[in-house]
Amino acid sequence: MSGKADYRDASRIEHMYAALCRVKELFAGITRAEFVEGNSTAELILYHLIILGEAANNVSDGFCELHSEVDFRDMAGLRHKLVHDYANIDMSRIWQVLVDDVPVWCESIKPVCEALPQPVGMPPNLSDFD
């Protein structure tokens, strides 16, 4: 692939941006103590971080190379940690990701999302599966 967005990359970028926006919204309403102790809001934040990482993991290599300002690798790595090492999640460490990394990720993905061609050109027979 040349690095140009196809419908799969564009959809994943949109999912990433939506997940980050939801994380930021949820994060604004929770204290560190509540998050570290774990509650339904903390669990929902983790869920959206998993969505973020899964989408990032499935963006094509060419698109990732074209947009090296986006840390697809760290986002995907976080997802792998949350899913595969779920019994050892350090909520204090995730809190730091929310404080330090999520704002940077939002800042880097927003212009990429805004620059996507509209419409992306998804084949009509696949529109129900995106």
Predicted confidence (pLDDT) at residue 122 exceeds the cutoff of 90: no
| Whole-number Å distance between alpha carbons of 69 and 110 | 11
> Whole-model pTM?
0.85
| pLDDT band, residue 3 (cuts 50/70/90) | very low
The more confident residue out of 1 and 77 is 77
The answer on pLDDT for 113 being more than 60 is yes
pLDDT confidence band for 4 (50 / 70 / 90): low
b (16+ CB within 10 A) / e for 46-68: bebbbbbbbbbeebbeebbebbe
pLDDT of 117: 78
Alpha carbon separation from 36 to 9, 56, 125 (Å, rounded): 33, 25, 44
Which tokens hold the place of 95?
């809190």
- Which pLDDT tens digit goes with each residue over 26-74? 999 899 999 999 899 999 999 999 999 999 999 999 999 999 999 999 9
1: confidence class by pLDDT, cuts 50, 70, 90: very low
Task: State the pLDDT confidence band at 124, using cuts at 50, 70 and 90.
Answer: low
* pLDDT confidence of residue 57: 97
Which of 25, 72, 74 is closest to 48 using CA atoms? 25
What residues have CB less than 8 Å from 35, skipping those under 6 apart?
41, 42, 45, 91, 94, 95, 98
